[in-house]
Amino acid sequence: MGAVSRWGCECEVTDSGFKYLLYTHPILTHPPCARNPVAEFHDNDLFRGVDPEAARALLPLAEPVAFLKGSRIARQNELARGAWLIRAGSAEVRVALPAGGERVMATLAPGSAFGESALFETGVCNASVYALTHVDGWLLPGEAFRALAFARNAAALTIQRNITATLVARLSALNTELARQVAPEDRATPAPPPAADPLAAYPRLTRADFDFRAFLKLLPFFAGFTPSDIEAVTAGTRALEVKRGAWLFASGQAAHACFLVVRGAVEAVRSIGSPGTLERRIAILPPGALAGYLSLLAGKPAHGAHARAREDSLLLEFPAALFMEHYRGDSGAQIKFQHAIHRALLTSLARSNSQMARLVTQAALTAAQPFRV
């Protein structure tokens, strides 16, 4: 047995070299791990589709952790250290509200993970996490994991794609919940959406009125890309020039492509209430932002929102097959492409979380107003 840890636990080293925790503190009453820690590590949602032997190779990177009931595991806006994998116990995810207090966003059970975004890049925690019971598991450090991913480790790349799928599901659920909330900015739909593909008659261009391909390196989406990386992931794309107010796609239409805003801006809009009566702006997408990619990542046949040109715009069209080829690829340029998608997802999640916190706070303040005659 090793020394007693700061959680009142003793550490034992297995034949795999992994340190795990045996509870000896009187407050921690649940029994020690009864299964092989390698099997429990691999059973986490993060390792879906990863070979058990590949997961075993990652186990030495993980740090064993344990928290008493009521402890704060992560604090919103603090530096994210890595992904937390829960072996036993449960935890609660909360976000701060603008007017004070917190909103519970999710409950985490054994086998789940949080903080996964740190396995892509450094950043801050976008929520606080508290132990509802005594919790133990592992911390997979972000810096060490990212080194494996850049070295094109197959297990690390599979895990990163699992994280992306989790974020897509999380964002879709959050957007569905947002659509149920009443918002003061909801407005009447100005015009019915087009019945057919609104871009079907638009010419696809290899050249525009300016050298847009030389401009791509300045877009946030391509941060960290070399010129050859950009050329590799944009080969096969075509440009479209659209006028202010033009539709890119409507909710329910086939999701056969997504679009990168090169110049101008795109307004993403969601239908609210009875179809066609009200709409709510989701976001104004500036140069470097993607429109329509969530449906492709989720494998959905149709778009779940509307998109219109906010001003005269130049768009780069990624056909669905090309987009997914880069998303599933393992070349250096494709790995950077996947990281760019992840950054886009985090931006969307942060925006949706902010909208939800604002709407919940507005509802609470409205309910607290005294009745006036």
The correct answer on CATH 2.60.120.10 for the domain covering 183-345 is yes
28-35 long-range Cβ contacts below 8 angstroms, 24+ apart? 28/66, 28/68, 28/134, 29/134, 30/88, 30/89, 30/134, 33/87, 33/88
pLDDT < 50 regions, the chain = 1-34, 370-373
**Are 109 and 90 spatial neighbours (Cβ–Cβ below 8 Å)?**
yes
Superfamily of domain 9-170: Jelly Rolls (2.60.120.10)
SS3 content of the chain, % helix, strand, coil (to 5): 35, 25, 40
**Could you read off the pLDDT of 224-262 as tens digits, one per residue?**
999 999 999 999 999 999 999 999 999 999 999 999 999
What is residue 275's predicted lDDT score, i.e. its pLDDT? 63
Secondary structure element (H or E) that encloses residue 347, with its range: helix 332-368
What is residue 368's predicted lDDT score, i.e. its pLDDT? 55
Closest by CA to 67, choosing from 17, 30, 105, is 30
**Are 254 and 195 spatial neighbours (Cβ–Cβ below 8 Å)?**
no
Closest by CA to 289, choosing from 262, 268, 327, is 262
Distance from C-alpha of 77 to C-alpha of 84, rounded to nearest angstrom:
16
Q: Where are the domains of the chain?
A: 9-170, 183-345
What is residue 3's predicted lDDT score, i.e. its pLDDT? 33
Token reading at 327: 């998303």
Amino acid found at 251: S
Cβ count near 106 (within 10 Å): 17
What is residue 63's predicted lDDT score, i.e. its pLDDT? 94
What is residue 190's predicted lDDT score, i.e. its pLDDT? 84
Paired with 361 in beta bridges are: none
pTM of the complete model: 0.81
**Are 236 and 264 spatial neighbours (Cβ–Cβ below 8 Å)?**
no
DSSP code for 287: T
Fold: same for 9-170 and 183-345: yes
SS3 351: helix
What is residue 327's predicted lDDT score, i.e. its pLDDT? 95
What is residue 208's predicted lDDT score, i.e. its pLDDT? 81
